Structure 1
């Protein structure tokens, strides 16, 4: 009787850098940065490590490429849906980044690496340009462009990163609405003499929407930028 030999699944598409990056993003979403190895990547793509190294030199380059790919998708959507005012375009851009960071738990840390440690890479200039063009369109003095755009970016990535971290911190199976309700209930029972503010906002915490709260913060910054220009 003939024996059946085990064979490695054959690729049905030619291997390309784009396919490698796409597979890397999927692995990062599912397993996090620690789960992205060249071994797991070769298994997913049914190829050998040499074929991947031909396109990507190391894991650092792969992480940078995955980050760039996700950000490129966000900016492409933002360009496909132009709005009437710079303020609306900034909101669209900010919310797109907020959602991307929520959908890709690894993205916040990688953006911090790119924005702080690799300002000459492709990600930092593209994000700065997208915010900066719209800040300039608000009519603020050129001398304040860098500060205003930086303030927006710091808020967007800080708030989006914290929101994503909050979601990851929930225990498996814990409902977010129930969690917020429990926290708000505890805050309502705090000593009013020591925690008057916390007691007053407890009900707002219970009912708030993360995306709406995020956009309200964007609007506060935009109001400050335009108000300082008028002054």
Structure 2
């Protein structure tokens, strides 16, 4: 038994936790949570289940590790990120950078939105909430928001960013691969214009704006509305 145990240990050491998580992310991207099983993972890694269980106890731990790895990469500052014209603009520019990093990452990994929502609602002490709160909260403090209101302002930012990014990813995930976005928007715009004028005057009025909108640009516009609200609520004299 001893030689077999040593061979198992050597295989487990050669197959690192990082490689297992990397392969799990690849499977999640291609097949979603249902497609991530220990059987498919062992096939992809060309190993036995024992080598994987040496590093990861179960699927829940593996999903948490994959979420943490992808989120950490999204929130890691890159050289030259959020360059601003002056120091006063730096916190706002960094919030933009963090928000776009999350938006693009969730867009690239549609399964991530569900994992983030699950952690925030069921286990907010895990990696998601602290990472995102820290990345945004430091900048909220730098904007001059009074400390008594840091949580409220930062939570508003976090919920907007993750909610909008998650909805964008959900739209992409539910659409068929061959779906033409322009055709869908045109059809939706026409349908809105045909709604009852008395019941839906606003929806009819914005039908053309919806048809030509850009998801990323609208995301940033909404972010600026939230930031403008924070600035209005906590003007310089109160900071």
Task: Assess same fold via TM > 0.5.
Answer: yes
Unaligned runs of 5+ in 2: 1-10, 85-89
1:125 paired residue among 121, 127, 130: 130
Aligned residue in 2 for 1:102: 107
Q: CA deviation at 1:118?
A: 2.1
The DSSP-based 3-state class of the residue aligned with 1:55 is coil
CA distance in 2, matches of 1:199, 1:189: 8
Q: Does 1:91 align with 2:96?
A: yes
Q: Does 1:195 align with 2:182?
A: no
Aligned residue in 1 for 2:39: 39
Q: CA deviation at 1:55?
A: 0.7
In the superposition, relative to structure 1, how do residues 78 and 158 fare at CA in structure 2: closer, same or farther (>3 Å)?
A: farther
Q: Does 1:16 align with 2:21?
A: no
The alignment covers a number of residue pairs equal to: 220
TM-superposition CA deviations, 1:23-65 (whole Å, max 9, x none): 0000000110011011110110011111111111111110000
The DSSP-based 3-state class of the residue aligned with 2:14 is coil
| TM alignment of 1:140-159, pairs within 5 A | 140-159=145-164
Whether contact under 8 Å (2:136, 2:154) holds in the other structure is yes
CA distance in 1, matches of 2:174, 2:57: 33
CA distance in 1, matches of 2:19, 2:142: 37
TM-score normalised according to structure 2 size: 0.88
Whether contact under 8 Å (2:82, 2:96) holds in the other structure is no
Unaligned runs of 5+ in 1: 1-10
CA distance in 1, matches of 2:190, 2:34: 37
Q: CA deviation at 1:169?
A: 2.2
Could you say what the CA RMSD is over the residues aligned between the two structures, in angstroms? 1.7
| TM alignment of 1:57-68, pairs within 5 A | 57-68=57-68
